[in-house]
Every structure is written in C-alpha cells, then in structure tokens.
Structure 1
Amino acid sequence: MAMNMIQKRFMSSSALQKWIYNLSGFNRVGLWRDDLLLETPEVKEALRRLPEYVIDERNYRIIRAAQLSLEHRILPKDQWTKLEDDKLYLTPLVNDVIKEKEERKQWENNH
C-alpha cells in the first residue's frame, strides 16, 4: 500500500517535471537547458573546457533557435527536445569551475 503511494507520487512528480519542461518553450526550438545559461566568467571557463564538437553542437542549436525565433516558428513536435534526451553537458563543468575558484580563494586567504 505504502509502495503504491510512493510510486504514484514519483510518477506524478515525473509528469509534473515533463509538463514544466514543455511549458518553458525552449525545447520547441531544439535547445537544451544548459544552452540557456548566462555566460558568466564561470560559464565561459566551462565552455572553454568542452570538446570542440560539443561547442559546435551547442552553437548549431543556438543559431537554429535564433533563426526560428526570427521567423516566429517552432520545430515540428517530433523534433522538440524531450526531457529525457536533454543532457546537462555544461552544469557539471560550471560547478567544477566554481568549486575551484572557492578552493583557490581559500588557499590564497590561508597563505
């Protein structure tokens, strides 16, 4: 009985996540969540660390989204980015850069 409640809660949470993801709209032009990060110094450093082919893929998605936006169009629904296909390719690197900055600052304060 308790397991069914947990499963239902998890399923509804997953359904809610998909609903919110689709409501955001960026997936309708083929963007991924990490494509939307503001280019702070930490994000710029993380981008510098990515392989060139990942940068090329990111640039293609951004250019295509900009073109679609200019034309006031969206992709056909079968080409929308799905939550399960959206990879956080940049966030882990950004977190590493932030952690490195904090460690460097602590080290400089202690030495």
Structure 2
Amino acid sequence: MAFRTTAVVRSGLKKWAYNLSGFNKYGLLRDDCLYETEDVKEALRRLPDHVVDERNFRIIRAVQLSIQKTILPKEEWTKYEEDKLYLTPVVEQVKKERLEREKWEKDY
C-alpha cells in the first residue's frame, strides 16, 4: 500500500514541478527547451523535417508570446500527459556514438 501512495505522490510532484517550470504555458515540450550543443544539433539533423518544423513553430510562437508578455489560453497549454520526449532518445544515441568514436580514436 505504501508503494502505491508513494507512486501517486511522486506523480503529483512531477506534475506540479512540470507546471511550475512555465514552458508549458507557451506550448513548448520538454525537448524544445534543450540547450543546443553539438550533440543536440546532430540529433535535430537526424529527425524528420516535419518534426523539426513543428519544433521551430513552437519555439517561434513561444518567443513571440514572451515578447508580447503574454501566455497561451489555458486550454492550449502543454499537458504533462501529452508531453513526449521526441528528441532525448536521439540525443542519447548521438552521445553514445560520439563517446564510442572518441574512445576508438584514443585507443587506435
């Protein structure tokens, strides 16, 4: 029973922190907020064009809303349940490949 209660509390805490972060009020996803390192740029290059276009639209809309000092209507906010990690798995793969390549170059 304690495990279920703990899982519910953690889930509630995650949702609270997600909403507190504020990026969802601009319609952004978590992966839209990643700092663009070389690994992230390579991962973006590997994504299909329509996914990158959707990401660019969300970012441009968020910048425009920020300049206007406003947010989206509440029904258009990104919900915790709808937020999917579309870029993180690709970034992790790119990092893994880069580390493997660096190890190979170092050893051979």
State yes or no: 1:47 paired with 2:44. Answer: yes
Which residue number corresponds to residue 79 of structure 1?
76
Q: Which has the larger radius of gyration?
A: 1
Distance in 1, matches of 2:106 and 2:63, equals 44
Tell me which stretches of 4 or more aligned residues in structure 1 moved more than 3 Å.
none
Q: Are residue 107 (structure 1) and residue 100 (structure 2) matched?
A: no
Aligned: 1:34 with 2:31: yes
How many residues align structurally? Answer: 108
Normalising by structure 2, we get a TM-score of: 0.97
One-letter amino acid of the structure 1 residue matched with residue 24 of structure 2 = N
- Stretches of structure 1 that go unaligned for 5 or more consecutive residues are none
> Does 1:9 find its partner at 2:6?
yes
How much has 1:25 moved relative to structure 2? 0.3
* Root mean square deviation of aligned Cα: 0.7
Deviations 1:10-29 (A, max 9, x none): 00100000000000000000
Give the distance between the partners of 1:75 and 1:82, measured in 2 at CA: 13
Give, as a single letter, the amino acid of the residue that structure 1 aligns with 2:73: P
Query: How far has the Cα of 1:110 moved from its partner?
Result: 2.1
